[in-house]
Amino acid sequence: MTISATSDVQIDNAEVRVTEWRLEPGSATGHHRHEMDYVIVPVTNSDMTIVAPDGTRSIAQLRVGKSYFRKAGVEHDVLNETGETIVFLEVELKA
């Protein structure tokens, strides 16, 4: 059984929503669709498993100091298949 990742909304105003995500080993976010453009800011160095809607799996390498941007519409599940806790900030850009 997969455990759920935990989230902590730190800022939620008219411009942005900033959420800290923590994925303990064996946890997952659950399949979701991003409704807004977003930036991921890694807090830990880690490798996340990304599962696309068709089941395709890929690895996203998170490196502290190396943020990345994605457009709205991305659909996936994010899993922690490592032995370490994964932590990142998700900054959603509101219209």
Summarised one tens digit per residue, pLDDT across range 65-83 is 999 999 999 999 999 999 9
Query: How many Å apart are CA 17 and CA 6, to the nearest integer?
Result: 16
If you average pLDDT over residues 1-26, what whole number do you get?
A: 94
For residue 62, give the H/E element and its range. Answer: strand 57-62
For residue 67, give the H/E element and its range. Answer: none
Does pLDDT of 1 surpass 70? no
- Whole-model pTM? 0.93
If you average pLDDT over residues 2-18, what whole number do you get?
A: 95
Instruction: Please report, rounded to a whole number, the percentage of residues in the chain having pLDDT higher than 70.
Output: 98
Q: Which two tokens stand for residue 76?
A: 């996936």
If you average pLDDT over residues 30-39, what whole number do you get?
A: 97
Q: What is the pLDDT of residue 95?
A: 81
Residue position matching structure tokens 């990345």: 68
